[in-house]
Structure 1
Amino acid sequence: MNDTVIVSSGYVVGWGTLALINAGLAQGKNRSGLGWFLLSLLLGPIATLVLVLLGKRNRPFG
């Protein structure tokens, strides 16, 4: 019996799309787009929830 787990491509595409959306949302809140993209790849919808609940960050030099 083969114990390999097969992940559907639709699930992977959706997870990646969510990570890209989170990166854009993070940049709109003056946060690191790359950092939130990578975090979203790990946490997915949980990262989205945290990001939505966070307020906009004030930049000290701009």
Structure 2
Amino acid sequence: MNSDLDQYAIGWGTLALINANFAQLKGRSGFWWFIGSLIGGPVATFFLAFVEPARAESRAES
């Protein structure tokens, strides 16, 4: 049973890393999307897929 939980945790963490990378490609904060993905998992992935890329002005301010 412990092995199933380990695999679930590894999959969830991997999804969070993928979301962080995807967010950075869209000009968003990878760190905050990573944290959000740890909490929200696939729901965060769904929202990230439909978020528009950040505008150049907002990227320059961060």
Query: Alignment partner of 2:56: what SS?
Result: coil
1:45 is matched with 42
2:6 is matched with 9
TM-score between both structures, scaled by the size of structure 1: 0.85
TM-score between both structures, scaled by the size of structure 2: 0.85
Structure 1 stretches of 4+ with a deviation exceeding 2 A read none
Q: 1:29 aligned to 2:50?
A: no
Q: Deviations over 1:29-57 (max 9, x none)?
A: 00000000000000000000000011111
Identity %: 46
Paired with 2:40 and 2:56, the residues of 1 have a C-alpha distance of 26
Offset at 1:24? 0.2
Q: Which has the higher helix share?
A: 2
Larger Rg: 1
Paired with 1:9 and 1:36, the residues of 2 have a C-alpha distance of 22
Q: Which amino acid aligns with 2:26?
A: K
5+ residue gaps, structure 1: 1-5
